[in-house]
Amino acid sequence: MSLSAVEPALGQPDLKSLFESAADDGTEVLKDAPLGEKTTLRAGGAADWYAEPNTIEGLAALVRVCREHNLPVTVLGLGSNFLVLDSGVRGLTVRLCGEPFVAIETDGEHIRCGAGARMKKVATEARRSCLAGMEFLEGIPGSIGGGLRMNAGAMGSEMVEIVEGMSFMDKAGEVFEMAGSDIEFSYRSCPLLKNQIALGAVLRGRPDSAEAIAERMAAYSQKRWDSQPAARSAGCIFKNPEAIPA
């Protein structure tokens, strides 16, 4: 009798069952899940294991299983700035699209958002709340988590300028919070998140009229349409170092 694709080989742990029972939040874990269709470039192989955890606790449980079985964890985000090898991605790949990860809410002059929230939606919420400073997020095709990881920037602004605080998870499944002033950011990098998983952020805005904010967002959008082709892309391929600008 042949084994099905999801049955463990003799002597091997049933990782699917281990993952799903540990998460205990209804998260489905898929084996050999194609990743190309989940990226903006629409190319690449499959993940050994793939999950979209519904809760922070579920994510922590998945991370702990990976630690116990010496499996790497990769966070996919929204799939921009992400080129998947044809040979695929080892270990567990997660996308943070459950409700706690995509929530966006205004709190005074701040926007609280999950790591899975789309940057464009955060910019829109800031405009509705008459908070300036986040207009540059409008045209970046990714999530807040990805923006934090690479200190994303556009139109002369970058994440470091608006991050008031951040929550993240280590590879043991423990959750931490850190003030923005204590986080090291550099050009297109946040070293802290190289081995941690961003969970969310508090972004700092400043009061302004919705009309003025909308005008800046429209100008940024038009500049992109005038200077960049409307085709599939990673979102960003090349860095733009100060010494040798593009």
In this predicted structure, what is the pLDDT of residue 106? 98
Specify the pLDDT at position 146: 96
Angle between helices 56-68 and 15-23 (to 10 degrees): 150
Whole-number pLDDT of residue 151 = 96
Beta-bridge partner residues of 154: 157
Cα distance between residue 166 and residue 114, in whole Å? 10
The span from the CA of 56 to the CA of 62, in Å, is: 10
Tokens at 100, concatenated:
């706690």
Instruction: Give 186-192 contacts, CB < 8 A, sequence gap 24+.
Output: 186/151, 187/151, 187/239, 187/241, 187/242, 188/150, 188/151, 188/152, 188/153, 188/239, 189/150, 189/151, 190/148, 190/149, 190/150, 190/151, 190/159, 192/168
> Is the domain 99-227 a CATH 3.40.462.10 member?
no
Per-residue pLDDT tens digits of the chain, which is 246 residues long: 333 444 554 445 799 999 999 999 999 999 999 999 999 989 999 999 999 999 999 999 999 999 999 999 999 999 988 889 999 999 999 999 999 999 999 999 999 999 999 999 999 999 999 999 999 999 998 999 999 999 999 999 999 999 999 999 999 999 999 999 999 999 999 999 999 999 999 999 999 999 999 999 999 999 988 888 777 777 666 777 777 766
Tell me the CATH class for 15-94.
alpha beta
- What's the confidence (pLDDT) of residue 5? 45
pLDDT score at 246: 64
Return the pLDDT at 11.
Answer: 46
Residue-range domain boundaries for the chain = 15-94, 99-227
For 242, other C-beta atoms within 10 Å of its C-beta total 6
Is there a shared CATH topology between the 15-94 domain and the 99-227 domain? no
Residue-level pLDDT at 4: 40
pLDDT of residue 81: 86
